Amino acid sequence: MALTVLGRPVRFSLAWLKPPPIPPDGSMSLFEHLRELRYRLVVASAAIILGMIACSFFMDELFDILRHPYDVAIADLKARRPDLDTTLVNSGISSPFTLYLKIAMVGGLVLTAPVWLYQLWAFIMPGLLAKEKKWALIFMGAASPLFFAGVAVGYIVMPKGISVLLGFTQAGITNLQDITAFLSFLLRVMVVFGIAFLIPLLVLMLNIVGVVKAHQLSKYRVYVIFGTFVFGAIATPSTDPFSMLALAAPMTVLFLVAEVMAHVLDRRKARRIASDDMLVRNSVAGDKALKELDASEDDDSSGSTDPGKAE
């Protein structure tokens, strides 16, 4: 028996699970773009939810991984200050559930990153030219490992930063650290490190599209390196030089690599332009029709400027 609502038959269809057809030239109307966006968002959201469900079975292991920097920092503080009293707490009735969801969300986003990144790429791809697709693929292929490398560096230096910050706790005072606030702080610092590692790649992409030239990077290299160390001092949570160097040194090396690659790309562009100009000049010089036209124009001009010979 068919299901009906208000006398009308209701049909269940799984057609939305199929990606909408894309024309060969990539041209789509506004409603087709919205349909494509809806499909990509549904698939990405479903993948993230499934990833969260999968991560919920390993909640204890994930919590231990996220808590590890705090435990290392506290062990270091206890060795130097045995009287220091610090405790992780959950404040509020809904805090344990919020913490559970936040850990599952982080794990789900990381676990399903290839899926939702592909959905993002598939939505952007139809509007790109062949050359733009090539550079976009290179950018995405390089951005992912750089971002995760920055996140790993932030995770590694986090215990030192926590140790320095909690070291200001006065004697006789118990430091009650809310676990939800600590997790937000940990994720924020790791994301900052990850984005910082993408800055040199962004500089290189600006050079590829012609916004920034290699000689400009060389001219302002000292200021960029100085700004990198200032940014490292501000972005890192601790006051020790190790955390600052852990962020500023890789950024500096990546910037220098980007500068060298920008010089190589600019030289290739200059050689390509020179070869194109030479090809145009050779084609013009070897054009027989143009030579005959120039010769006839020279004859006409010489005849018009020498009236004596014409008489």
Q: How confident is the model at residue 292 (pLDDT cuts 50, 70, 90)?
A: low
| The pLDDT of residue 310 is above 50 | no
Q: How far is CA 157 from CA 44, 70, 160, in A?
A: 32, 11, 6
Task: Give the mean pLDDT of the chain.
Answer: 78
Q: How confident is the model at residue 260 (pLDDT cuts 50, 70, 90)?
A: confident
pTM score over 0.75: no
Q: Tell me, what's the pLDDT at 289?
A: 56
How many other CB atoms are found less than 10 A from the CB of residue 58?
A: 14
Q: How far is CA 184 from CA 17, 98, 178, 254, 257, in A?
A: 35, 11, 10, 28, 33
| The pLDDT of residue 54 is above 50 | yes
Of the two residues 225 and 16, the one the predictor is more confident about is 225
> Tens of pLDDT along 218-245?
888 888 888 888 887 777 766 667 777 8
Q: How confident is the model at residue 77 (pLDDT cuts 50, 70, 90)?
A: confident
Percentage of the chain modeled with pLDDT above 70? 76
Q: How far is CA 228 from the centre of its chain?
A: 18
- The tokens for 216 are 């400009």
What one-character DSSP code corresponds to residue 8? E
Q: Tell me, what's the pLDDT at 184?
A: 85
How many other CB atoms are found less than 10 A from the CB of residue 207?
A: 22
Mean pLDDT of all residues in 249-270? 84
For the ranges 139-143, 144-148, 204-208, the one whose mean pLDDT is highest: 144-148
Q: How confident is the model at residue 118 (pLDDT cuts 50, 70, 90)?
A: confident
Mean pLDDT of all residues in 254-273? 83
Quick one: 122 exposed, middle or buried, by C-beta within 10 A (0-12, 13-18, 19+)?
middle
| The pLDDT of residue 279 is above 70 | no
Mean pLDDT of all residues in 21-30? 67
Q: How confident is the model at residue 197 (pLDDT cuts 50, 70, 90)?
A: confident
| The pLDDT of residue 16 is above 80 | no
Q: Tell me, what's the pLDDT at 49?
A: 93
Which helix (H) or strand (E) is 89 found in, with range? Answer: strand 85-89
Mean pLDDT of all residues in 19-41? 74
| The pLDDT of residue 311 is above 90 | no
**Could you give the angle at which helices 179-196 and 130-166 cross, rounded to 10 degrees?**
140
Residues 6+ apart with CB under 8 A from 63: 103
Q: Tell me, what's the pLDDT at 223?
A: 87
| The pLDDT of residue 276 is above 50 | yes
Q: Tell me, what's the pLDDT at 26?
A: 60
Q: Tell me, what's the pLDDT at 116?
A: 83
| The pLDDT of residue 283 is above 70 | no
